[in-house]
């Protein structure tokens, strides 16, 4: 059985979908601070006719030792796939305490409970933000790690803790460093759902005459002056977590750190045009100054994930955009229902 922390959130819920589709039993722990109960309901519904099984949802915080011990005593957990975290760069600059408490202390608490309850495997969601300003692109896993904000620092601190715990207490791990995650599952179960949306694709999709899309900076040293990122579909990303679990179950597997990206870079302008052409519509845009802390170019060298897990990204950008657009419609309905309740 797999414990997914943060499974009511965007990436965690897609990982739950992939584990359930692959025939695994899943328990989700989430404090619903960022995640949504509606996503849990939709996952339960989805699991009904699949091979796998949504076994339980525990509404608790990873800092709650008692809740973790009860959970580990109730279920035979084979691995923890750990997403629960705060992940807003700006917020982390203004409120670092939240990031050190929720991300770092929370994960230490989780690791302690895993060691005490002899849970042997962890798959952890880290980030390319641990690299900081890149020295060269594409970025491979040996690139120096020098985060430029508390969010990146908190994830790097956890990477250190996992490595040290693994060495001392025999845990096995896969640490994934994500690049820019986009899209939604084709069944429309989940998608990006943030109270204050900051991410590129949902912001383009939400734009209209009253809420013009703001493009932050067109004077970067890139092909068209706008920032370049490596956009990976959330379902491709989720798949890698299931493969990592299966890999960790192999006798001779090793703990590893792997980038997850496509290896290709797209500029903000290219993504904007791709959304316009996928949806066959014109979207209003205004040029704005640079957003603080945005590096010009982040592209993954994800070859190691391919070699280690036999994984590669498969979903084309156009499909990611169409699924994200479909999700935006579902989200509007969910928000209306939530407002009426």
In the complex, least distance from residue 132 CB atom to ligand UDP, rounded to whole angstroms: 13
Q: One symbol per residue from 255 to 274: x for binding ligand UDP (CB under 6 A), - otherwise; what is it? A: -------------x------
What lies within 8 Å, CB to CB, of 248 at 6+ separation is 79, 121, 123, 172, 173, 174
Distances (CA, A) of 338 to 88, 136, 222, 259, 321: 24, 45, 42, 37, 25
Which is closer to ligand UDP, CB of 29 or CB of 201? 201
Q: Can 231 be counted among the known catalytic residues?
A: no
Residues within window 192-211 making contact with ligand UDP, judged by CB under 6 A? 198-200, 203
- Determine, following the binding rule CB under 6 A, whether residue 291 of this chain makes contact with ligand UDP: yes
10, 99, 131, 151: which one is catalytic?
A: 151
Residue 177 near ligand UDP by CB under 6 A:
no
The answer to whether residue 214 forms part of the interface with ligand UDP (CB under 6 A) is yes
Residue 232, CB half-sphere, CA atoms under 13 Å: how many? Answer: 30
Residues 90 and 87: their CA atoms lie apart, in Å, by 9
269 CB contacts (<8 Å, ≥6 apart)?
215, 218, 224, 225, 226
* Closer to ligand UDP by Cβ: residue 56 or 91: 91
State the pairing for strand pair 79-82/231-233. unpaired
Interatomic CA distance for residues 219 and 238, integer angstroms: 34
Cβ(85)–Cβ(102) under 8 Å? yes
Binding of ligand UDP at residue 283 (CB under 6 A)? no
Beta carbon of residue 198, minimum distance to ligand UDP (angstroms, whole number): 5
Q: Among residues 169 and 216, whose Cβ is nearest to ligand UDP?
A: 216
Catalytic residues: 151
Binding site for ligand UDP (CB under 6 A): 180, 198-200, 203, 214-216, 227, 229, 268, 291, 294
């Amino acid at each position: 059985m797999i414990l997914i922390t943060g499974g009511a959130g965007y990436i965690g819920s897609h990982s739950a979908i992939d584990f359930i589709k692959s025939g695994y039993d899943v328990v989700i722990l989430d404090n619903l601070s960022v995640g949504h109960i509606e996503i849990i309901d939709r996952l339960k519904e989805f699991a009904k006719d699949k091979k796998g099984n949504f076994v339980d949802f525990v509404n608790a915080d990873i800092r709650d030792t008692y809740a973790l011990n009860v959970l580990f005593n109730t279920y035979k957990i084979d691995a923890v796939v750990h997403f629960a975290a705060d992940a807003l760069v700006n917020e982390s600059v203004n409120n670092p305490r939240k990031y050190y408490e929720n991300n770092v202390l929370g994960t230490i608490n989780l690791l302690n409970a895993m060691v005490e309850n002899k849970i042997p495997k962890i798959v952890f969601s880290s980030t390319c933000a641990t690299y900081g300003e890149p020295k060269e692109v594409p970025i491979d896993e040996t690139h120096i790690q020098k985060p430029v904000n508390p969010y990146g620092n908190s994830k790097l601190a956890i990477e250190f803790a996992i490595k040290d715990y693994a060495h001392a207490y025999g845990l096995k791990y896969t640490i994934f460093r994500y690049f820019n995650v986009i899209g939604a599952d084709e069944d429309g179960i989940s998608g990006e759902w943030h109270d204050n949306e900051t991410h590129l694709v949902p912001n383009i999709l939400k734009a209209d005459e009253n809420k013009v899309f703001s493009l932050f900076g067109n004077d970067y040293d890139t092909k068209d002056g706008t920032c370049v990122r490596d956009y990976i579909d959330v379902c491709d990303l989720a798949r890698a977590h299931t493969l990592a679990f299966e890999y960790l179950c192999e006798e001779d597997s090793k703990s590893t750190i792997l980038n997850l990206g496509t290896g290709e870079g797209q500029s903000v302008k290219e993504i904007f045009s791709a959304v316009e052409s996928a949806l066959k519509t014109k979207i209003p845009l205004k040029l704005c100054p640079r957003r603080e802390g945005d590096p010009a170019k982040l592209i993954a060298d994800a070859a190691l994930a391919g070699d280690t897990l036999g994984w590669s990204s498969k979903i084309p950008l156009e499909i990611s955009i169409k699924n994200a657009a479909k999700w935006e419609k579902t989200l509007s309905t969910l928000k209306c229902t939530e407002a009426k309740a």
